[in-house]
């Protein structure tokens, strides 16, 4: 490790980590004819991937006039075109804007407008969603993958990235470690999604942090320590989370690209399909959010498939019940279970808990990686002693610069390089972090953040709703589900399904309440008028 100054603040960083994303991409070409991406019956080698990304990067600059700092958006499901576009944009010196592929047309349009994206890469489904909304503000060029007939002004991804000239290399672009690299959108608790500005240093930190976590796990088990930049033998990852999440991009895509690992993509999540791919592709690492691990372990198809290739099961992004690690040991004995903590604002990994540490402390999210500092503070920002509960703050080279064009939100969430997570936690004497609650009004459903105030805003738009509150309902597999408590207007008549349909028409599917309670009495409130959601949870959705 070493120290440097970033925006006037001293930070520790991995001194041997790549300085920028182009160095990761360039090094990946050395893996040559090894298989990189697998999607359905398609296979793309590392050398093919590098050539397509390099060729597309040149065309972004030469044909679309993309320059350093320009924003270029991606709105796709997990297709092979997604990482090709990601690396091409980064190599062009532009800022990658991954948009949530589950968003509605209106939400996608907002992301494009807010980011000021100059070019949009989309798949056929997102194209159909956005076509009626043309023109799209700042977007000057549209590139669509895997589509049928397209208007003349829309380019085909295959035409741009296909058939790269022999010996193609990356364009010569000056990129510094702290230049903007990505703009990931994460929903705010009081408004529309906010763009989180990540730098090349933020993202590349993950590569060495993942390697450190693996080395620590081996040492704690008594095994020989592997080198941070050396992969396991014949590594193969099953990607079950979206690329447009920090985990899918920063932790998994970055690692597999750098280490020469096979990355197997899924068209859509299915535990049965996951088991088929684990067997067919000899997957060594599987995970995602805890819900996915649960579904694979509990699938009726589990016993019919060969899972002997699996070496580790990794997950995060949502609350993981302690019994999950015990279930992994029962169904997959000898494998390494791994949990962790991070958020978009920390570019994914902050802490990890794996192997024997995880078995001994199944309710902890682990210890921070060495380049990260963590503290627990009171309401005034004063650090609390070990063992006391307060808000978790994090500082390190992985912590982002702030929110895009939102200085007030940035000032509220960042203090002298520390990001305020909004999570309540305690840190025990040995440095293990225990997240005990969330200060933010958010439900985490299968890894997706559902912000209660946003859903409530939509509920209040229903003509029959007088009052409403959204709460989290514990769920063994998903972690939580969305629950809505509704007080109807006098004389109004509607059903729970009417409420679900109303939300579904305006928001992505993961925001739709799975539980709807319609009551004829007022919601409980404190003297300040705030709904007492804990009382509602105790009354309607007790744990268990």
List pLDDT tens digits, range 74-92: 999 999 999 999 999 999 9
Q: Where are the alpha helices (DSSP H) in 414-463?
A: 452-460
Q: What is the pLDDT, as a whole number, of residue 543?
A: 67
Strand-pair partners of 180: 199
91, HSE (Cβ side, Cα atoms, 13 Å): 28
- Percent of the chain at pLDDT > 90 equals 78
Task: Give Dmax over CA atoms of the chain in angstroms.
Answer: 73
DSSP for 404-452? TT-HHHHHHHEETTEEEEEEEEEE-TTS-EEEEEESSSEEEETTEEEEH
> Is-contact 294 477, C-beta < 8 A?
yes
pLDDT tier for residue 200 given thresholds of 50, 70 and 90: very high
Phi, psi of 118 (to 5 degrees): -90, -35
Q: Which residues contact 200 (CB under 8 A, 6 or more apart)?
A: 19, 20, 21, 90, 175, 176, 177, 178, 179, 181
Q: What is the DSSP-derived secondary structure letter of residue 524?
A: P
Tokens 């290399």 sit at which residue? 169
- The rounded mean pLDDT for the chain is 92
Say what the pTM is: 0.86
d(CA 143, CA 145): 7
The least confident of 44-58, 274-288, 318-332 is: 318-332
Residue 36 has pLDDT above 90, yes or no: yes
d(CA 516, CA 511): 13
Q: What is the pLDDT, as a whole number, of residue 522?
A: 87
Tokens 């933010």 sit at which residue? 440
| Coil, strand or helix at 518 | strand
Structure-model confidence comparison of residues 489 and 383, the more confident one: 383
d(CA 339, CA 353): 5
> Is-contact 400 345, C-beta < 8 A?
yes
The least confident of 72-81, 86-95, 468-477, 519-528 is: 519-528
Domain 21-175: which CATH number of 3.20.20.140, 2.40.30.60, 2.60.120.20, 3.40.50.12780: 3.40.50.12780
Q: Could you report the per-residue pLDDT of 490-516, keeping only the tens digit for each?
A: 899 999 999 999 999 999 999 999 999
> Is-contact 346 419, C-beta < 8 A?
yes
pLDDT tier for residue 189 given thresholds of 50, 70 and 90: very low
Q: Which residues contact 52 (CB under 8 A, 6 or more apart)?
A: 44, 84, 88, 161, 162, 164
Strand-pair partners of 352: 340, 367
pLDDT tier for residue 226 given thresholds of 50, 70 and 90: low
396, HSE (Cβ side, Cα atoms, 13 Å): 28
Among candidate residues 341, 335, 342, 343, the one with its CA nearest the CA of residue 359:
335
The least confident of 30-44, 72-86, 431-445 is: 431-445
Average pLDDT over residues 248-254: 95
Residue 48 has pLDDT above 80, yes or no: yes
Cα dihedral: 37, 43, 48, 52 (round 10): -70
Residue 17 has pLDDT above 60, yes or no: yes
Residue 448 has pLDDT above 80, yes or no: yes
Q: What is the pLDDT, as a whole number, of residue 99?
A: 97
DSSP for 304-340? GS--TT--EEEE-SS---THHHHHHHHHSTT-EEEEE
Architecture of domain 200-243+256-438: 3-Layer(aba) Sandwich (3.40)
Residues of each domain in the chain carrying CATH 3.30.300.30: 442-540
DSSP for 154-215? EEEHHHHHSSPPTT---------TTSEEEEEEEE-SSSSEEEEEEEHHHHHHHHHHHHHHHH
Residue 370 has pLDDT above 70, yes or no: yes
C-alpha separations of 278 from 76, 297, 433, 436 in Å: 24, 13, 32, 33
Residue 105 has pLDDT above 70, yes or no: yes
User: 328 is written with which tokens?
Assistant: 């992994």
Residues of each domain in the chain carrying CATH 3.40.50.12780: 21-175, 200-243+256-438
Q: Could you report the per-residue pLDDT of 122-175, keeping only the tens digit for each?
A: 999 999 999 999 999 999 999 999 999 999 999 999 999 999 999 999 999 999
User: 486 is written with which tokens?
Assistant: 């509704």
Average pLDDT over residues 315-338: 88
Q: Which numeric CATH code is attached to 442-540?
A: 3.30.300.30
């Amino acid at each position: 490790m070493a120290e440097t100054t970033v925006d006037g603040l001293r930070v520790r960083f991995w001194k041997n980590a790549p300085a920028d994303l182009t160095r990761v991409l360039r090094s990946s070409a050395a893996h040559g004819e090894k298989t990189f991406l697998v999607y359905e019956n398609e296979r793309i080698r590392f050398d093919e991937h590098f050539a397509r990304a390099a060729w597309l990067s040149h065309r972004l600059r030469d044909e679309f006039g993309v320059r350093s700092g320009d924003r270029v958006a991606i709105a796709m499901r997990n297709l092979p075109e997604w990482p090709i576009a990601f690396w091409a944009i980064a190599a062009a010196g532009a800022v990658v804007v991954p948009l949530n592929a589950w968003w509605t047309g209106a939400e996608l349009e907002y992301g494009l407008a807010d980011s000021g994206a100059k070019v949009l890469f989309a798949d056929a489904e997102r194209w159909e969603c956005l076509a009626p909304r043309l023109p799209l503000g700042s977007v000057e060029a549209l590139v669509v993958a895997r589509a049928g007939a397209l208007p003349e002004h829309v380019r085909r991804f295959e035409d741009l990235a296909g058939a790269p000239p022999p010996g193609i290399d990356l364009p010569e672009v000056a990129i510094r470690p702290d230049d903007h690299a990505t703009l990931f959108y994460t929903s705010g608790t009081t408004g529309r999604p906010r763009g989180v500005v990540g730098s090349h240093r933020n993202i590349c930190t993950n590569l060495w942090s993942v390697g450190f976590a693996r080395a620590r796990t081996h040492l704690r088990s008594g095994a020989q320590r592997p080198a941070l930049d050396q992969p396991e033998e014949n590594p193969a990852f099953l990607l079950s989370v979206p690329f447009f999440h920090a985990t899918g991009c920063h932790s998994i895509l970055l690692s597999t690209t750098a280490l020469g690992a096979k990355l197997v993509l899924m068209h859509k999540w299915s535990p049965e399909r996951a088991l088929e791919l684990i067997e067919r592709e000899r997957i060594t690492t599987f995970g995602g959010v805890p819900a996915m691990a649960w579904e694979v372990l509990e699938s009726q198809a589990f016993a019919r498939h060969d899972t002997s290739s699996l070496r580790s099961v990794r997950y995060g992004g949502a609350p993981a019940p302690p019994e999950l690690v015990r279930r992994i040991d029962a169904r997959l004995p000898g494998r390494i279970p791994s949990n962790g903590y991070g958020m978009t604002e920390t570019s994914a990994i902050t802490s990890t808990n794996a192997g024997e540490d995880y078995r001994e402390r199944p309710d902890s999210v682990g210890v921070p990686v060495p380049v990260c500092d963590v503290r627990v503070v009171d309401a005034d920002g004063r650090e609390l002693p070990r063992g006391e509960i307060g808000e978790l703050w994090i500082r390190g080279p992985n912590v982002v610069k702030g929110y895009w064009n939102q200085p007030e939100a940035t000032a509220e969430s960042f203090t002298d390089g520390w990001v305020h997570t909004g999570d309540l936690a305690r840190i025990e004497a040995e440095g293990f972090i225990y997240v005990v609650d969330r200060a933010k009004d958010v439900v985490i459903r299968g890894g997706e953040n559902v912000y209660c105030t946003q859903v409530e805003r939509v509920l209040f738009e229903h003509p029959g709703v007088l009052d409403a509150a959204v709460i989290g309902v514990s769920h063994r597999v998903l972690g939580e589900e969305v629950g809505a408590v509704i007080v109807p207007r006098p004389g109004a008549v509607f059903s729970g399904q009417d409420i679900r349909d109303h939300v579904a028409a305006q928001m992505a599917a993961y925001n739709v309440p799975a539980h709807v309670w319609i009551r004829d009495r007022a919601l409980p409130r404190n003297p300040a008028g705030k709904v007492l959601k804990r009382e509602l949870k105790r009354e309607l959705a007790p744990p268990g």
